[in-house]
């Protein structure tokens, strides 16, 4: 078919051609065959009521039926939660649990089941919760099947902020799924909020939170404002006094590629705190702030993140700290860039 005249005129117009080329197109050519192909991922398989599914091949598996080692108590000590019949179960009174590994922007899948027979009512029935950002931001886990409570505390609510769009709950005892997309808040260096945290959530496959912006931390009775924190934080599950069960938990990191990060037990971090000297000269001082180490070195204070139980890195500059406490003296080795300007010092107190 012949193109209409108006299109031919447009195609050959020098002015338009200039305008077209003046603004670089950020995308590759359409159908560019040299464009990198997406990585291949085995999608795993979904769960059935009887059998937990399998995580996608690029996911970090947080629980697949037996191993509780990715989870610890909030202070990093072993958790008292138990594994029964391929599920992990909250032991009432034992406290929240959290992951050792920290995550920023991510896709999180997990499955939960409220206790059967159902006991209690309102907030007292099958209450737990999934926390992103450490223990700051909760999407509620509750037995909301024929169990009325306040809307912003029902299952799938962003607690004390937003009710779920619908109540897609299954009966107690049945396995239910959460599929969450989490974007952590972004803060400027001076602590100014640049973008709020956001959550999208599917409950049993049904959309219940749609790119929802959180305006603060979630809490009972009050609404604490957002406060600056490092982007990557543990994921936590709530002990609210009910033996809620979980299975098939996995997470896919969506942010920029980087080193894995861990929030080590407080006791281990505290063991590194102190003053380090070399030849009678103070080289570094180490302290703890929440789940991170602060290293005073070279006249600056660096926030250090754990990539292993003994190795830490800064994000603002290429500095690493390696602790060796296997002998006497206990040492820290600080390296800058490719070892230039590095220093080894021993702990004096
Ligand atoms: Mg809760």
Q: Is the pLDDT confidence value at 157 over 50?
A: yes
Structural contact between residues 341 and 287, judged by C-beta atoms closer than 8 angstroms: no
Report pLDDT for 339. 66
Three-class secondary structure of residue 267 per DSSP: helix
Q: Is the confidence at residue 217, as pLDDT, over 90?
A: yes
Mean pLDDT of 226-246: 97
Mean pLDDT of the chain: 93
Q: Which CATH superfamily is domain 60-262 in?
A: Exo-inulinase; domain 1 (2.60.120.560)
| Alpha-carbon gap, residue 151 to 163, rounded angstroms | 5
User: Token pair of 261, please?
Assistant: 């990060």
pLDDT of res. 340: 61
Tens of pLDDT, residue by residue over 248-300, are 999 999 988 889 999 999 999 999 999 999 999 999 999 999 899 999 999 99
> What is the Å distance from ligand 1's center to 114 Cα?
12
Count of CA atoms in the C-beta half-sphere (13 A) of 84: 10
**What's the pLDDT tens digit per position in 36-75?**
999 999 999 999 999 999 999 999 999 999 999 999 999 9
Please state the φ and ψ torsions of residue 249, each to the nearest 5 degrees: -110, 125
339: which 2 tokens? 């070892």
Q: Where are the domains of the chain?
A: 60-262, 266-347
- Residue 260 alpha carbon to ligand 1 centre in Å: 28
Q: Are 207 and 164 in contact (CB under 8 A)?
A: no
Distance from the CA of 115 to the center of ligand 1, in angstroms? 14
What is the reported pLDDT for 66? 96
Residues with CB under 5 A from ligand 1 (ion): 127, 129, 140, 238, 240
What's the pLDDT at 39?
Answer: 95
Give 238 Cα–ligand 1 centroid separation in angstroms.
Answer: 6
Distance CA 294, CA 305 (A): 9
Could you tell me the pTM of the whole model? 0.89
């Amino acid at each position: 078919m012949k193109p209409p005249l108006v299109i031919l005129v447009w195609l050959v117009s020098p002015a338009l051609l200039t305008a077209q080329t003046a603004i670089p197109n950020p995308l590759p050519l359409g159908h560019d065959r040299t464009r990198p192909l997406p990585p291949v991922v085995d999608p795993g398989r979904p769960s059935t009521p009887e059998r937990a599914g399998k995580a996608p091949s690029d996911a970090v598996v947080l629980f697949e039926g037996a191993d509780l080692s990715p989870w610890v108590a909030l202070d990093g000590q072993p958790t008292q939660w138990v594994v029964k019949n391929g599920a992990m179960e909250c032991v009432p009174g034992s406290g929240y649990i959290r992951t050792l590994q920290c995550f920023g922007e991510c896709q999180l899948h997990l499955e939960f089941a409220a206790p059967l027979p159902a006991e209690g009512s309102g907030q007292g029935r099958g209450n737990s919760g999934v926390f992103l950002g450490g223990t700051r931001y909760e999407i509620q886990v509750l037995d909301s099947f024929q169990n009325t409570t306040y809307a912003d505390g029902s299952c799938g609510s962003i607690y004390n902020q937003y009710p779920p769009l619908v109540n897609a709950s299954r009966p107690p005892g049945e396995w239910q799924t959460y599929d969450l997309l989490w974007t952590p808040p972004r803060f400027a260096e001076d602590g100014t909020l640049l973008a709020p945290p956001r959550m999208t959530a599917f409950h049993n496959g049904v959309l219940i939170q749609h790119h929802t912006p959180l305006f603060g931390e979630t809490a009972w009775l009050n609404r604490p404002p957002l406060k600056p924190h490092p982007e990557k934080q543990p994921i936590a599950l709530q002990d609210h006094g009910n033996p809620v069960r979980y299975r098939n938990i996995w997470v896919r990191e969506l942010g920029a590629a980087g080193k894995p990060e861990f929030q080590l037990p407080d006791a281990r971090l505290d063991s590194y705190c102190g003053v380090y000297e070399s030849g009678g000269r103070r080289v570094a001082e180490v302290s703890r702030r929440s789940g991170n180490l602060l290293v005073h070195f070279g006249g600056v204070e660096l926030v250090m993140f754990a990539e292993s139980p003994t190795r830490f890195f800064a994000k603002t500059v290429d500095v690493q700290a390696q602790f060796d406490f296997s002998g006497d003296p206990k040492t820290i080795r600080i390296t800058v860039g490719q070892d230039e300007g590095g220093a080894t010092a021993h702990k004096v107190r």
